[in-house]
Chains A and B, each alone.
Chain A
Amino acid sequence: MATMPAVESADLRPALRILDEMSPVTASDTIPLLQRLQEAYGYLPREVVLEVSQRTGLPASRLFGVATFYAQFYLTPRGRHLVRCCRGTACHVRGGKNVISTAEKVLGIRDGETSSDMSFSLETVACLGACALSPVAVVDGRYLGKTTPARLEHVLRTMREEAAGPAENREEST
């Protein structure tokens, strides 16, 4: 699920290309349109959505309403890696809480936040649908079942070191 912020939010070209490909865009295209924009930008930047609204005549408020209704859409930039920890009942009773606090400690961010270097976003989820494997965490779409705090810490630290290496995708931290 995690996507790379492929382009700067102010760059309208990808959005225009998408509109072009989907033309004519009508109200029934709202969700696929938002999905493709999010694929291109990693989230739904304000300038992009307002411009898309201007060009398609789809009211910005409607696009925004849909975007905030579905959990799959993000209104703020996401980190390059997405860490999701379960806080559902099954996971909770098997120590899910410690898993969450470990992630928070290692990444230095809280639920719903993105690290300032844009490398990680952390989310908690009500149930990941894999209660048999509880406690569960999902890192960039990879399920870590029966996670212990130590295991998660190892995985996250490894990812962070890799990220710190010379990677073309690295951005200056702000």
Chain B
Amino acid sequence: MSQFTLTLDGREVTASEGQTILQAALANNVVIPHLCYDPRLTPTGACRLCLVEIEGEPAMATSCTRLALPGMVVRTNTEALRASRKMTLEFLMSEHRMACTSCEADGDCLLQDYVYEYGAAERRFPSLARSEAEGSYTVGHEGIVYDPSKCVRCQRCVKICAEVSMNEAITLKGRTMDVEVSTAYDLPLNESSCELCGLCVSTCPTGALRERGAIGRGRAKDLTKVRTTCPYCGVGCQFDLCVNRKTNRIVRVTAEPGCVPNDGNTCVKGRFGFQFVASPERLTKPLIRENGALREATWEEAINLAGRRLAEIRDKYGPDALAFLSSCRCPNEENYLMQKIARAAGKTNNVDQCATTCHAPTVAGLASAFGSGAMTNSIGEIQKVQTLFVIGANPTEAHPIVGLEMKKALRNGAKLIVCDPRKTWLARRADLHIQHAAGTDNFLVNAMMNHIIAQGLHDQKFVAERCENFDAFRENLARYSLDEAARICGVPADKIRLAAEMYAQGTPSSIFYTLGITEHTCGTENVQNMANLAMLCGQIGKPSSGVNPLRGQNNVQGGCDMGAIHSVFPGYQKVSDPAVREKFAKAWGVEIPTNTGGRVTDFLEEAHAGKLKAFYVLGEDPVLSEPNQTKVIESLKKLEFMVVQEIFLTETAKLADVVLPGACYAEKDGTFTNTERRVQRVRKAVDPPGDARPDWQIICDVSTAMGYPMNYRHPSEIFAELASLTPILAGISYERIEKQGLQWPCPTPDHPGTVFLHDGRFTRGKGLMHVIHFRQPAEVPDRDYPFMLSTGRTLFHYNIGNMTRKSAAIRQKEDENFVEIHAEDARRLGITAGGMVRVTTRRGSLAVRARVAEKVRPGALWMPFHFAENSTNQLTNDAFDNITRTGEYKCCAARLEKIESPVA
């Protein structure tokens, strides 16, 4: 971007090409008032406050709509301009119900600021303000309140809903004086296309749009902003918790345009999902099982008991009798300590975290192909992708901010291919939607690659120079013709052909996938095939082009990076490597165990078999998150001893012998690593409830009680230790990421971090092309169970729902399990939208409400997994990926019946 100079108020300043005069001024600390400007939006020029004088032009111009040009001479603050702005403000005041004394936005309102600055008179013109009355579209809405009498009709809310979130839920209604914001036909907001992202509230410059939950809880002067990282998905949005110190409560969440990676945007979970922090259901005291029931205990009692029993079992039965389940919800520091306590105090490699439930195939598959198991590119690169290849991912719901970036790419003219059994938001807008049957991904991708080679569309130079095993790989593909793929996948051959050609030719192309690829018995193979496709076409190792798994949980990248995996130490250093073992043995002053260790799915099986005796679970709820719930409970009940460290009394905690109350993300310091490998700060905003304590302290105490003392004064010390032992993180420190996170690999303190991986060379040297054979899912529909059931996430909830479901706004939007059914199947079975149905699999049966549409394929069912009281994992199959033991959540055979005599 080229730079040039112009003159602002007699001062020469630098601007970049494409900046408006207003943007250039703001960048140079020249403040021009602006009510309707937001850097995320196209300018409207509606408020006319940003007027400036441009030399050589007779009339004043709105600086938000005029491009800055080299040599321009601009005045921003003359008498005439000030008079004009004052008049504009006085007109606004005549339509505004001035109520600053009782307004939520007092101290956080541009109108108020400008009126004060310009000395505008409140009553220069007769008041035409409306009386106080809520806009009808938000009446009764738990999330958002709209007050037309404070609205300055700047259109920011309407534009952000249209241009950024692309939901177009709201509009300006009426004309002239009667204009106000509303939904179509004043529908209640929850019945519109609103996704509750709260962007409209975030951009409103006045008190017209606010969060309902924040009302009466404190105004700008009562609130302290604490910058932190969102605790939900792997995007890792940066936002501010606005905390009222007097009440120790989070009041609202705001985000700053310009911040990385989310540019001031958040989704519904980030914006409205914080009420769980102050929930009365939080654990506040340690609990101990006595005579079959849990009773309150002191910390000393609880820690001693946990430490003593874990040590006893370790000594009595050996290292394989003990397992540690770490948590991707928790910061890096705590994950580091969990694998350390397992290996140093527990003397076992039995340590895992929830990636096994979701992205372990990614870590394994990409590591075998490239040598590094992470997203190859950055979120910020998405907007420049030319061809988006989205498979088994639903980013607008599961990773909404990545979804926004993809929407940006579409606005920039990108082509979109979506391969998904469901008609998702992106699928409906795709250039090509391949609605293949669940579990047939490998056939589809093999056929695509076969076609690419047949047409000579592959990148022969890239394959020759940077990959190995091409011949075997190519030979295998011959069996996968387009026609055969069409039959197996249930998609026209032409579409598959076109997808192959578009991907191969639309440089830069980029692959995005999530659990639709990994949660299969062939999950790792699916991932390896993603790598194959990218290598074949040379669409990797460059900007905006690569293989991009979108990690599910806030810190699932970090949990894996920290070595909470049986086979690796932090930074994927192999336990099997004696030199690595030696390094850690020296650092920790212990002998490093050599047992193979297992995955969480193994732990449960071993517990069932009576071989695993003790289990220490941090921030996870396997009862609800693992497939085949009934069997999971049986297994856990067979344990001799279980410690659960949690913020709520989860279903798993209810089975524990000791429950240790931890602190949630808002109550402690640490770091999360987002899906693009960016290590970002988590900061303490409020105190933990009751006696609850930061988890890193608890782990230290348990370890000490087990006979391996651990002692840190602050998480930054833990980070310093782990960085010193982990080459890919060695250059990162709390100081360096104070303002903005850094992306690993970052080997030295002066390294800028790595935006995209495999530039010029794969981490493992040459990229390995795998020979992938198509295999059917473990369970396929048959006479008795004719439907194919998949599970997944909705926009509004997170995992088992125990955080998001504490939010009133989210609850009001969606608070009940459901099953999606295709309209054709519904008609055939006499099922109506909203009616109750029974879904049965070989493992369990649930009664839920039907959502009838054409979102799923005929013969397919889809259910979310967020609702504990009616848990979908009673149905799912405990069949696992052959390599990483990830459950096949995406495919299980099911039966569907209408429930007669519906309860009213």
Q: Which residues of A contact B (CB under 8 A)?
A: 46, 49-50, 53, 57, 59-65, 68-71, 75
**Can you list the 8 inter-chain pairs with the closest CB atoms, starting with the nearest?**
A65-B171, A60-B184, A59-B168, A64-B184, A61-B171, A68-B173, A46-B185, A61-B184
| Chain A residue contacts of B193, Cβ below 8 A | 59-61
| Chain B residue contacts of A61, Cβ below 8 A | 168-171, 183-184, 192-193
A51 to B175, CA, bound (A): 25
| Chain B residue contacts of A57, Cβ below 8 A | 428
Complex contact A65–B192 (CB within 8 A): no
Q: Which residues of B contact A (CB under 8 A)?
A: 162, 168-175, 182-185, 187, 192-193, 428
Complex contact B192–A68 (CB within 8 A): no
Complex contact A64–B173 (CB within 8 A): yes
Nearest CB in chain A: distance from B599 CB, A: 44
Complex contact A60–B175 (CB within 8 A): no
Tell me which of B173, B174, B192 contacts A60 (CB under 8 A).
B192
Complex contact A69–B174 (CB within 8 A): yes
A63 to B182, CA, bound (A): 12
| Chain B residue contacts of A70, Cβ below 8 A | 175
Complex contact B184–A49 (CB within 8 A): yes
| Chain A residue contacts of B182, Cβ below 8 A | 64
| Chain B residue contacts of A68, Cβ below 8 A | 173-175
A63 to B171, CA, bound (A): 9
| Chain B residue contacts of A59, Cβ below 8 A | 162, 168-169, 184, 193
| Chain A residue contacts of B175, Cβ below 8 A | 68-71
Nearest CB in chain A: distance from B818 CB, A: 20
Complex contact B171–A50 (CB within 8 A): no
Nearest CB in chain B: distance from A125 CB, A: 14
Nearest CB in chain B: distance from A124 CB, A: 15
Complex contact A53–B184 (CB within 8 A): yes
A49 to B187, CA, bound (A): 12
A–B pairs, 13, beta carbons within 8 Å: A46-B185, A49-B184, A50-B185, A60-B184, A60-B185, A60-B193, A61-B169, A64-B171, A64-B184, A65-B171, A69-B175, A71-B175, A75-B185
| Chain A residue contacts of B185, Cβ below 8 A | 46, 49-50, 60, 64, 75
A50 to B171, CA, bound (A): 14
Q: Kindly name the residue among A50, A65, A70, A75 whose own CB sees the greatest number of chain B CB atoms within 10 A.
A: A65
Nearest CB in chain A: distance from B38 CB, A: 19
| Chain A residue contacts of B173, Cβ below 8 A | 64-65, 68
| Chain B residue contacts of A53, Cβ below 8 A | 184
Nearest CB in chain A: distance from B671 CB, A: 40
Nearest CB in chain A: distance from B493 CB, A: 26
| Chain A residue contacts of B187, Cβ below 8 A | 60
A24 to B838, CA, bound (A): 40
Complex contact A50–B184 (CB within 8 A): yes
Closest residue of A by beta carbon distance from B186: A64
A53 to B168, CA, bound (A): 12
| Chain B residue contacts of A75, Cβ below 8 A | 185
A49 to B428, CA, bound (A): 20
| Chain B residue contacts of A64, Cβ below 8 A | 171, 173, 182-185
A50 to B193, CA, bound (A): 11
Closest residue of B by beta carbon distance from A44: B185
Nearest CB in chain B: distance from A94 CB, A: 26
Nearest CB in chain B: distance from A127 CB, A: 15
| Chain B residue contacts of A65, Cβ below 8 A | 171-173
A62 to B170, CA, bound (A): 8
Nearest CB in chain B: distance from A81 CB, A: 25
A59 to B428, CA, bound (A): 14
Nearest CB in chain A: distance from B173 CB, A: 5
Nearest CB in chain A: distance from B227 CB, A: 33
A75 to B185, CA, bound (A): 8
Nearest CB in chain B: distance from A68 CB, A: 5
Tell me which of A49, A62, A71 contacts B171 (CB under 8 A).
A62
A60 to B186, CA, bound (A): 11
| Chain B residue contacts of A60, Cβ below 8 A | 183-185, 187, 192-193
A87 to B184, CA, bound (A): 30
| Chain A residue contacts of B162, Cβ below 8 A | 59, 62
Known contacts A61-B184, A69-B174, A75-B185; can you find 16 more A-B pairs with CB under 8 A? A50-B185, A53-B184, A59-B162, A59-B168, A59-B193, A60-B193, A61-B168, A61-B169, A61-B170, A62-B168, A64-B182, A65-B173, A68-B173, A68-B174, A68-B175, A69-B175
Q: Kindly name the residue among B162, B170, B173, B183 whose own CB sees the greatest number of chain A CB atoms within 10 A.
A: B173
Closest residue of A by beta carbon distance from B171: A65
| Chain A residue contacts of B428, Cβ below 8 A | 57
Nearest CB in chain B: distance from A47 CB, A: 9
Nearest CB in chain A: distance from B540 CB, A: 34
Nearest CB in chain A: distance from B590 CB, A: 62
Closest residue of B by beta carbon distance from A45: B185
A49 to B173, CA, bound (A): 15
Closest residue of B by beta carbon distance from A50: B184
A18 to B875, CA, bound (A): 46
Closest residue of B by beta carbon distance from A69: B175
Nearest CB in chain B: distance from A44 CB, A: 9
A73 to B193, CA, bound (A): 23
A20 to B776, CA, bound (A): 42
Nearest CB in chain A: distance from B782 CB, A: 36
Nearest CB in chain A: distance from B427 CB, A: 13
Closest residue of B by beta carbon distance from A61: B171
A61 to B158, CA, bound (A): 10
